[in-house]
Amino acid sequence: MRLAESGAEPTPARVAAALRSQGRLLGDSAVLGVVEELRSEMVGTGPLEPLLADPEVTDVLVTRADEVWVDRGRGLERTEVRFRDAASVRRLAQRLATTAGRRLDDARPWVDARLPDGTRLHAVLPPVAVGCTCLSLRVVRPRAFGLDELVAAGTVPPGGDVLLRAVLDVRLSFLISGGTGTGKTTLLSTLLGLVGPEERIVLAEDSAELRPDHPHVVWLEARPANQEGVGRVGLDDLVRQALRMRPDRLVVGEVRGAEVTDLLAALNTGHEGGCGTVHANAASDVPARLEALGTTAGLDRAALHSQLAAALDVLVHLVRDRAGRRRIAEIHVLERDAKGLVTTVPAALWGERGFVAGRGWERLRRLCGRGTGEGFGPHEGFGPGGVLGAVDEAEGRRRP
């Protein structure tokens, strides 16, 4: 309490002085132990610190004082970490919100913010959260994974890196879709790291989570309104500003609202190679999802589909299987049906030995050769190390 009231950092010297003032004498190791505990309680994340320090942990979720979960890429696992009581969880959530420059109290019982180290914070207080404060922390690692690491982890099938590199090299516009926690941001960060070092990447995000390993990146982050209800900067504002910043690659971290119209307009006016992520249960649901988002911005159905057909080339869809493994389920290309509406066509499907050719493979092959006169042959690269896997779907037989 003495240190908290003074606002002083709990250094070993100050902790020792506070203990002496209470007539307590402790050895050096004991003082250092008290220092570590106080620092964790006053300026750290308390009992959650060991979990957040684990390099495998991507999410830490607190449901109740005695119920803390983590995700290490294998699905949610319950931990042995416990808080003293529900009040301790509330205090931690409020302190973290203050650290992020946000308000969290009975008048504003939830917060969505980014901590100084990049960790994504979301918290909801009772009575909105029944029984106990719910706290969610998503860890943003300072280093993006390499594409070879994603292949080794099973996110990308053997040989799939060749196809993804080709999509980037010929500057195809693409979206990465999937449900929550499927690894959309991770994959996008990795792919952006493969962009040529001479290109300028401008990122527009609701919360800065992308960490591409690239020498020329400009980050733009949205801002909520202040307590007076003014000062809001939305993603649609950021996309419009990004267009004036001479981007070689315009990237929207997550398409979730009216910014979809500005993004599609940009991709239709010479900004090739743009990309982003979008939440969707299946690749085939993405056109309908974008249609719904476009409606919120006043774009009618026909106009949205016309822009979508001209703007977007490829859709990469991610899933989490029952074992909790994140992987690319399929890669789709887009085409228009008889009514003029955009539909997605599977071009490359997940296979344990590599991608499997789908109905849209020929179109994807031509797109990957756009502007080069090259591209992949109709059956080129089957098997590990190639573009496609060991199964030729068209012929329905295995290849050696």
| Helix H or strand E segment including 16 | helix 12-21
Q: What pLDDT, on a 0 to 100 scale, did the predictor assign at position 132?
A: 94
Tens of pLDDT, residues 147-175: 999 999 899 999 899 999 999 999 999 99
Confidence band, pLDDT 50/70/90 cuts, at residue 39: low
Cα separation, 266 vs 24, whole angstroms: 67
Q: What pLDDT, on a 0 to 100 scale, did the predictor assign at position 388?
A: 55
At residue 400, does pLDDT exceed 50?
A: no
Q: How far is CA 293 from the centre of its chain?
A: 19
Q: What is the mean pLDDT of the chain?
A: 84
Q: What pLDDT, on a 0 to 100 scale, did the predictor assign at position 86?
A: 94
Cα separation, 391 vs 400, whole angstroms: 9
At residue 18, does pLDDT exceed 80?
A: no
- DSSP sequence for 25-94: ---HHHHHHHHHHHHHHHTS-GGGHHHHH-TT--EEEEEETTEEEEESSSSEEE-S---S-HHHHHHHHH
At residue 396, does pLDDT exceed 90?
A: no
Q: What pLDDT, on a 0 to 100 scale, did the predictor assign at position 384?
A: 45
Q: Give mean pLDDT, residues 193-214.
A: 92
Q: What pLDDT, on a 0 to 100 scale, did the predictor assign at position 136?
A: 95
Q: How far is CA 275 from the centre of its chain?
A: 13
Cα separation, 42 vs 53, whole angstroms: 17
Tens of pLDDT, residues 218-250: 999 988 887 777 888 988 899 999 999 999 999
- DSSP sequence for 321-371: -TT--EEEEEEEEEEE-TTS-EEEEEEEE--TTS-EE-TTHHHHHHHHTTT
Q: What pLDDT, on a 0 to 100 scale, did the predictor assign at position 279?
A: 94
More reliable by pLDDT, 358 or 398: 358
Taken in order of first residue, the domains within the chain and their CATH numbers are: 1-38 (no CATH), 45-140 (3.30.450.370), 147-398 (3.40.50.300)
Q: What pLDDT, on a 0 to 100 scale, did the predictor assign at position 36?
A: 61
Tens of pLDDT, residues 258-305: 888 888 888 888 788 999 999 999 999 999 999 999 888 888 889 899
* Lowest mean pLDDT, pick from 3-7, 194-198, 225-229: 3-7
At residue 391, does pLDDT exceed 50?
A: no
How many other CB atoms are found less than 10 A from the CB of residue 246? Answer: 9
Share of the chain above pLDDT 70, in %: 84
At residue 10, does pLDDT exceed 70?
A: no
At residue 89, does pLDDT exceed 90?
A: yes
Q: pTM (2 decimals)?
A: 0.79
Q: What pLDDT, on a 0 to 100 scale, did the predictor assign at position 379?
A: 44
β-strand partners of 174: 275, 314
Q: Give mean pLDDT, residues 382-392.
A: 46
Tens of pLDDT, residues 117-140: 888 899 999 999 999 999 999 988
How many other CB atoms are found less than 10 A from the CB of residue 46? Answer: 18
Q: What share of the chain is helix, strand, coil (3-state, %, to 5)?
A: 30, 20, 45
At residue 46, does pLDDT exceed 70?
A: yes
Locate 329 and state its tokens.
Answer: 């389920």
Q: How far is CA 366 from the centre of its chain?
A: 30
Question: Phi then psi for 340, rounded to 5 degrees?
Answer: 85, 5
